[in-house]
Structure 1
Amino acid sequence: MTEEPRLPRELVERAAALDAQDPLAAFRAEFVLPDGVLAYLDGNSLGRPLRVTAGRLARFVEEQWGERLIRAWDEEWLDRPTVVGDLVGRTVLGAAAGQTVVADSTTVLLYKLLRAAVDARPDRTEIVADTENFPTDRYVVAQVAAETGRTVRWVEPDPATGVELAEVEAQLSDRTALVVLSHVAYKSAYIADLAGITAAAHRAGALVLWDLCHSAGAVELRLDADDVDLAVGCSYKFLGGGPGAPAFGYVARRLQDELVQPIPGWMGHAEPFAMGPDYVPAEGIRRLLSGTPPILSMIPVEDTLGLIGRAGMPAVRQKSVLLTEFAITVADQVLAPLGVTVASPRDAARRAGHVTLEHPAMRDVVEELWRRGVVPDFRRPRGLRIGLSPLSTGFAELATALAHVEQVIRTRSG
């Protein structure tokens, strides 16, 4: 580099002012912030770890695991999936206790709930899904359709926006068993009309399964108030669970006795240690469990949820809006003259926690940024995705990252 990357003075001053006014600024110091990372813009793929988590994990190994050993299952661990599930529910989902459980991966929970939902509507032959959803969602939808002899009616939304209510309504009929959608589009950050789509599906007699991977911890949710049926989401993004952390599954209380989950396992049994010959499902949300839950991985999730609880989701969402607005302002003023376009909604009410910028050279740009210690995300074929985790990302950090983006693109173009 021949010069230090820097945005125009007014934007640098604007970032400094936003940091000074930020009521959540102090939370950033609670995360691990290594010197080798100038800016981290991928919190919507993998969140930063909290400093406190290292000590908690060490104490867990020495005390609960090391001293209590297998006795800890009876003393505490058996209840962890529902205890932490309730914490997820009340902190970020708007869900009352007894409806959320932490277990498995997003893919496994998605399969369980998708299969259980279509089996609960045996006379209905269609599933509604969209072609722009995350690959796992599309793959699982296609597999369950093949297993059960269903037809998938594919919505084909505009990739720059997302699935619209009218597009879903056009596919609904008395043949629809289930609608499967992501609340936030993983490419554009478009926020779907969760309440409106859920109500439309219910009018058609169908169930709805929402993927909340890019929602939980980034936007405010009201699953109970919006009459949501089913939901899944990961915990390694905005919930800080770490690589491979378990997902969460939500089943509205009114459906828990109706649905039969398709992977019965001993942890979802009414008496796990009875070791009886037949499977008898546990009462309530616990029946969604199958195998042994990942106890260790729940510790970082608890820590991050505690931080979110202290901040409050309204404040988290407000900072998310300000971060994404600043990114779009910089893109318009500094990057647009270099051929960069914004591929995310400009309406804050329809934009979640990331901004996607597009340019033909973005693959090479991201590779160079990573070498510099600026870490965004590349999305094929030409997208640089700026994932902004409100509790761990500062405005000056974002300004630094975008200055590097500008310099790399300008250097390549020159």
Structure 2
Amino acid sequence: MTDFAATKALFHLPDGIVYLDGNSLGPLPRAAAARVSQTVTDEWGEMLITGWNKAGWMALPMALGDRIGRLIGAEPGHVVTGDTLSIKVYQALASALAMRPDRRVILSDTGNFPSDLYITQGLVKMLGDGYELRLVAPEEVAEAITDDIAVTLLTEVDYRTGRKHDMAALTAKAHAVGALAIWDLAHSAGAIEVDVAGAGADFAVGCTYKYLNGGPGAPAFIYVAPRHADQAPPALSGWLGHAAPFAFDLDYRAGAGIERMRVGTPPILQMRALDCALDIWDSVDMAALRARSIELSERFIAGVEAACPTLTLASPRDPQNRGSQVSFRFDQGYAAMQALIDRGLIGDFRAPDIMRFGFTPLYLDEADIDRAIEIIADVIDNALWDQPQYMERKAVT
């Protein structure tokens, strides 16, 4: 059983702050600054370019991939880190389409994160030749999986509402009609129990700066099922995905297995910060974390609804049908969130009217939840949000 009081002590949280935005950016692990500093001074500073060999920099993408793989139910050796989530979405989608050359339709839903849709729209436009992005409401995905679908591209947990797709059922439906299934785990990895191998996912992608606490700009990851690992054509044939990068061949030869999904130079400083965060995750039992997340989120919902009847729950009522976040609708949600932040409760806002709160048991407890409820009640019931400075939109919401 994971000791969540012990894990809380491993994070730096500013005094007086209740942090319910780990679903956007996880807080700093206390040991991360020293780890990154050591990398800068002892490795980069003293080893210079020899750090790629002496400090094991080149092996980090695979080593970190395996540690993330445990958290998402992946087979060892089938997750690699590096690049950004947008790049990994592009890789997975383009590779999957190449594996279904007789089909042209990509199925996604209107609750998917816009970046995934933008990547898909751009690829469809570039490919031409009848390729199509077909969008349906999240609850209509299952019936929309027909035998003309090449690939389903779905985010397991809706970024606005926290609504959770049934990965195993939808993957099975896709496979039954000959389609491939790609899953975006941006709001799943480190938040809920995930089993990409058990669900039969073909590809999965995700980021590490949210629940995994890798820091702003932390690298993304990609999973390729073992049955595809040596056949999936790498859509971005980068130098480090080559079978022998230092042979300096003029022609590309794809690396073995998941290695072919490497693209550019690994961001070593970010990877060392992520490495430090994963030291904490190595001791976490995901079933215990999920149970604790549900306890905290249920306490939060009950408290907010009792104190603030003007707020409307936007997330599924059943905790089994949502991820590790809770959203409420409020017509002045943006201003209200700014007022909450001013008073020490950090969540975030998603247009048009969503106030979103993340539940991360590694560093949250009942006292944090109760304090959050008090602050929300004060801001909403006393209309403290109704001030000009809270109405002005900032660059990041």
TM-score (normalised: structure 2)? 0.93
Alignment partner, residue 74 of structure 1: 53
Answer yes or no: is the 8 Å Cα contact 2:62–2:77 preserved in 1. yes
Question: Aligned partners of 1:264, 1:409: CA distance in 2, in Å?
Answer: 52
Matches within 5 A, 1:170-209: 170-209=143-182
User: Partners of 2:366 and 2:351 in 1: how far apart?
Assistant: 26
How is 1:117-136 mapped onto 2 (pairs within 5 angstroms)?
117-136=96-115
2:118 corresponds in structure 1 to 139
1:54 aligns with 2:33: yes
Q: Is 1:390 the equivalent of 2:361?
A: yes
Q: Which amino acid aligns with 2:170?
A: I
Structure 1 residue aligned with 2:63: 83
8 Å contact from structure 1 (residues 129, 141) kept in 2: no
> CA-atom RMSD, angstroms?
1.6
> What are the ranges of 5 or more consecutive residues in structure 1 without an aligned counterpart?
1-20, 157-162
Does residue 106 (structure 1) correspond to residue 85 (structure 2)? The answer is: yes
Residues in 2 aligned to 1:224 and 1:381: alpha-carbon distance in whole angstroms: 36
Shift of 1:284: 1.0
Tell me the distance in 2 between the aligned counterparts of 1:189 and 1:219.
11
* 2:395 equivalent in structure 1: none
Q: How does 1:246-395 map to 2 (within 5 A)?
A: 246-336=219-309, 339-395=310-366
Counterparts of 2:348 and 2:294, CA distance in 1: 19
Question: How many angstroms apart in 2 are the aligned matches of 1:27 and 1:406?
Answer: 29
> Within 2, Cα distance between the matches of 1:218 and 1:127?
27
Contact 1:308 1:316 in 2 (8 A): no
- Stretch moving more, 296-305 or 108-117: 296-305
Query: Aligned partners of 1:169, 1:384: CA distance in 2, in Å?
Result: 28
Contact 1:38–1:401 (8 Å) recurs in 2: no
Change (3 A) 1:169 1:363: closer
In the alignment, the residues of structure 1 paired with residue 142 and residue 193 of structure 2 have an alpha-carbon distance, to the nearest angstrom, of 24
Change (3 A) 1:386 1:123: same
- How many Å separate the matches in 2 of 1:284 and 1:74? 22
Using the TM superposition, give the Cα deviation of residue 373 of structure 1 relative to its aligned residue in structure 2, in angstroms: 2.3
Q: Secondary structure at the match of 1:311?
A: coil
Partner of 2:391: none
Three-state SS of the structure 1 residue aligned to 2:223 is strand
**Stretch deviating more after TM superposition (43-52 or 299-308):** 299-308
Measured against aligned partners, the alpha-carbon deviations of 1:194-222 in whole angstroms (never above 9, x if no partner) come to: 00000000000000100000000010011
Letter of the 2:186 counterpart: C
Once the 2 structures are TM-superposed, how far is the Cα of residue 315 of structure 1 from its aligned partner?
Answer: 1.3
The question of 1:231 aligning with 2:210 is answered no
Q: Read off the aligned partner of 2:313 and give its amino acid letter.
A: V
Deviations 1:59-86 (A, max 9, x none): 1112122222211213311111111101
Q: How many residue pairs end up in the alignment?
A: 382
Residues 172 and 351 of structure 1, relative CA distance in 2, 3 Å threshold: closer
Conserved 8 A contact 1:185-1:214? yes
Task: Tell me the TM-score normalised to structure 1 length.
Answer: 0.89
- Residue 30 (structure 1) aligned with residue 10 (structure 2): yes
Tell me if structure 2 keeps the 8 A contact 1:107–1:136. yes
Distance (Å, rounded) in 2 between the aligned partners of 1:355 and 1:170: 27
In 1: Cα distance, 2:283 partner to 2:264 partner: 32
Contact 2:208-2:219 at 8 Å conserved across structures: yes
Kept after mapping to 2: 8 A contact 1:268/1:287:
yes
Partner of 2:214: 241
Report how far residue 347 of structure 1 moved.
Answer: 0.8
The structural deviation recorded for 1:395 is 1.8
1:394 CA drift (Å) = 2.0
CA distance in 2, matches of 1:305, 1:350: 27
| Alignment check: 8 A CA contact 2:334 2:349 kept | yes
Q: Distance in 1 between matches of 2:235 and 2:93?
A: 10
Question: Are the counterparts in 2 of residues 320 and 352 from structure 1 also a CA contact under 8 Å?
Answer: no
CA deviation after TM superposition for structure 1 residue 55, in Å: 1.2
Tell me the CA shift for residue 22 of structure 1. 9.1
Q: Is the 8 A contact 2:2 2:283 kept in 1?
A: no
- What is the distance in 1 between the residues matched to 2:199 and 2:104? 26
- C-alpha change, 1:169 and 1:404, in structure 2 (3 Å) is closer
Structure 2 unpaired stretches of 5+: 387-397
User: Deviation string for 1:290-344 (max 9, x for gaps)?
Assistant: 11011111122222222122121111111111111011111221112xx111111
Aligned-residue offset at 1:125: 1.6
Q: State whether structure 2 residue 378 is matched by structure 1 residue 407.
A: yes
Q: What do the CA deviations read for 1:330-370 (whole angstroms, capped 9, x no partner)?
A: 1221112xx11111111111121110011112211111122
Partner AA of 2:265 in structure 1: T
